[in-house]
Amino acid sequence: MLRFSIRVPLLIMAFAIAGCGETVIDPREKAVIQGVARVKSLIASTATNPMAALSLASAAEQGGTIVTYIAASLPDNADFTCYSEGPRPRPYCVTIRGGAVAGEYVIEGYGQSVDKPVASATAFASTPKRR
């Protein structure tokens, strides 16, 4: 009987410890993380895809911003569409701002709290050279 009474609490503790390793991610935060990766990919594609570079340059010539380019590059049925520019982040949104050098962009995705991003990345955009 003594063995049984010791085994049960040990088993309960083992299951509790094993369950602590799982991290449950809020689905909205997961969408934000994927949004950061998507923005990084879209901006980085301007270095290798001439059409992407022309699209970014065209948006800029018409008074648009990097967010204009991102919005134009998203599919019509995109699940996540909260992209903003500037210093003030919004909950469950991806914020894009200029970096330290020309063509550099800092991408930060925020969850419920806007104190610390749940994901961040840096990407470099390229625009075509004029002849």
Whole-number pLDDT of residue 1: 47
Predicted local distance difference test score (pLDDT) of residue 26: 87
Neighbours of 100 (CB within 10 A): 7
> How far, in Å, are 4, 22, 25, 26 from residue 67 at the CA level?
63, 35, 26, 25
pLDDT at 109: 97
pLDDT along the chain (131 residues), means of 10: 52 54 79 96 94 93 94 90 90 95 95 95 85 59
In angstroms, the Cα distances linking 115 to 4, 34, 104, 109 are: 49, 19, 23, 11
- Residue-level pLDDT at 49: 94
Alpha helix stretches (DSSP H) within 45-106: 50-61, 66-73
Which letter does DSSP use for residue 81 in this model? -
